[in-house]
Amino acid sequence: MPLTNAKLTPLWWDGLDLRPKRAPLPGDRQVDVAIIGAGFTGLWTAYYLAGLEPTLHIAVLERQHVGYGASGRNGGWCHAAYPLGLTMLVKDFGPQRGAEFERALNGAVAEVGRVTAAEDIACHYQRGGRILVARNPLHLARAREEAEEYRSFGFSEEDMRFLSADEASEMVGADGVIGGTYSPHAASLQPAALATGLADACERRGVRIYESTTVDSFAPCAVRTDRGLVTARHVIRATEAYTPQFGNVRRKIAPLYSHMIATEPLPEEVWAELGLHDRPTFADYSPSLIYGQRTHDGRLAFGGRGAPYHWRSGVADQFDNNDAVHMDLVRVLRDFFPAVESAEVTHRWGGPLGVSRDWRPSVTYSPETGLGFAGGYVGEGVAASNLAGRTLADLMLGRDTELTHLGWVNHAWRDWEPEPLRYVGINAGLWLAKSADRAERRSGKDSWLGNVGDWLRGKRG
């Protein structure tokens, strides 16, 4: 699987005219709501707000083009996931509110499907569920533990079930599968197509989207851009990994990079071996985070984390491609599916995702200042941003709904440490996670390094 001929842009951008095609802000404007960033968070917020209150003037301000950020680059896993898992979710909010939150995330997966159908968004949404395979005894123990965890918090087999070796390998023809888990609360989709389709749907509802418009700073009722000043009663920051550029919120989010590769379309005889017939999203139970999907046109799109954190929360186009991480992804994919050995890698890319100091996401809005934001999804934002958008819309309109009582509403985390502590701390954590993964792959045994990594991320309380 050579990388040499791979295009250095996301597979998802092929065939979509993603260059800025909407006009920039034409000078100073007064609106009701100004939203910074045209990724999923900004677009879902605008979409629901315009649906609930069609008379509002809503402006979305985007520096590049719709779907330029993580929303147009991700693995297309639309699934219900709290970054630290169900146990921490229940620990954070209690058994009842934790389970409510999990159900709301599950509902977001269905809601994305409902809207894509209603708005005729051709993003190849397929509700094939999520399968995590176990490929060694340690994975298997984690799979059992996760299935039991769901049972203990009142979820049924309909929400998450343990799979025998036969069941799991029937679904995913990966090498050495000895079991796994299956959750129906996940869909595969083409993320950039969702972002562009959603932007069109927003415009049909009267939302104005201005591309090639850089926000330089924001404050209550005022957003300064390179094209003029926008005054607005409500100002929503939807800039996730790009947040540290703004002086007033510089240490709220740390950007981490995730990278992906995509193969050429694979022949039917290879798919007969690999399975993934209903296009489930898939991964395994190793400590390093990997994610894959079978695309609608028969490719494998496969990603993982592992790139270093960049000094002073740096985000730049040159970080999108990382030879070492892409080579590692090829190695892991080959190990997973030996049948793809000779397949060509046609695309490789990467992008930044946003991590909060306590690895928990938040939807925050202040009626006093009119300022709000949603983010800190830690790479789990495809479905969560839909829930966040609906919640922000309710909060801005002062609606008292089930959503506005969810545990993440107005969750505040502390700032990341100043540099150089941030650089040293985050990269040490990433190194630990990577070393734990390597040690585990070598020995098939749990590693103390993994426990330290989990503890640093707050996963072990």
* Interface contacts to ligand FAD, rule CB under 6 A: 36-42, 61-64, 68-71, 73-77, 214-215, 238-242, 245, 258, 260, 291, 303, 350-353, 375, 377, 379-382, 385
Which one, 162 or 182, has the nearer CB to ligand FAD? 182
Which one, 67 or 275, has the nearer CB to ligand FAD? 67
Contacts 24+ apart (CB under 8 A), 243-246: 243/354, 243/375, 244/312, 244/313, 244/315, 245/315, 246/215, 246/217, 246/218
* Contact call for residues 222 and 213 (beta carbons, < 8 A): no
Question: How near is the Cβ of 60 to ligand FAD at its closest, in Å?
Answer: 9
CA dist., res. 172 & res. 183, Å (int)? 14
Question: How near is the Cβ of 372 to ligand FAD at its closest, in Å?
Answer: 13
Which one, 69 or 453, has the nearer CB to ligand FAD? 69
Question: How near is the Cβ of 83 to ligand FAD at its closest, in Å?
Answer: 10
DSSP per-residue string spanning 262-306: EEPPPPHHHHHHHB-TT--EEEESSSS-EEEEE-TTS-EEEEEE-
CA dist., res. 279 & res. 52, Å (int)? 34
Question: How near is the Cβ of 30 to ligand FAD at its closest, in Å?
Answer: 19
Name the helix (H) or strand (E) containing 232. strand 228-237
Residue of closest CB approach to ligand FAD: 381
Which one, 39 or 407, has the nearer CB to ligand FAD? 39
Which one, 214 or 321, has the nearer CB to ligand FAD? 214
Question: How near is the Cβ of 405 to ligand FAD at its closest, in Å?
Answer: 22
Kindly provide the b/e burial profile for residues 68-102, where b requires at least 16 CB atoms within 10 angstroms of the residue's own CB.
bbbbbbbbbbbbbbbbbebbbbbebbeeeebbbbb
Question: How near is the Cβ of 198 to ligand FAD at its closest, in Å?
Answer: 10
Which one, 96 or 231, has the nearer CB to ligand FAD? 231
DSSP conformational letter for 307: P
Question: How near is the Cβ of 223 to ligand FAD at its closest, in Å?
Answer: 9
Three-state DSSP class for 429?
helix
Which one, 212 or 447, has the nearer CB to ligand FAD? 212
Report CA-CA distances (Å) from 440 to 93, 139, 142, 434, 437: 32, 10, 13, 10, 5
Question: What would the two tokens of residue 263 be?
Answer: 């193969």
Which one, 74 or 364, has the nearer CB to ligand FAD? 74
Preceding omega of 420 cis (within 30 degrees of 0): yes
Name the helix (H) or strand (E) containing 104. helix 95-118
Three-state DSSP class for 107?
helix
Report CA-CA distances (Å) from 222 to 22, 38, 43, 390, 398: 22, 18, 20, 23, 21
DSSP conformational letter for 445: S
Which one, 306 or 350, has the nearer CB to ligand FAD? 350
Question: How near is the Cβ of 143 to ligand FAD at its closest, in Å?
Answer: 20
Question: How near is the Cβ of 359 to ligand FAD at its closest, in Å?
Answer: 13
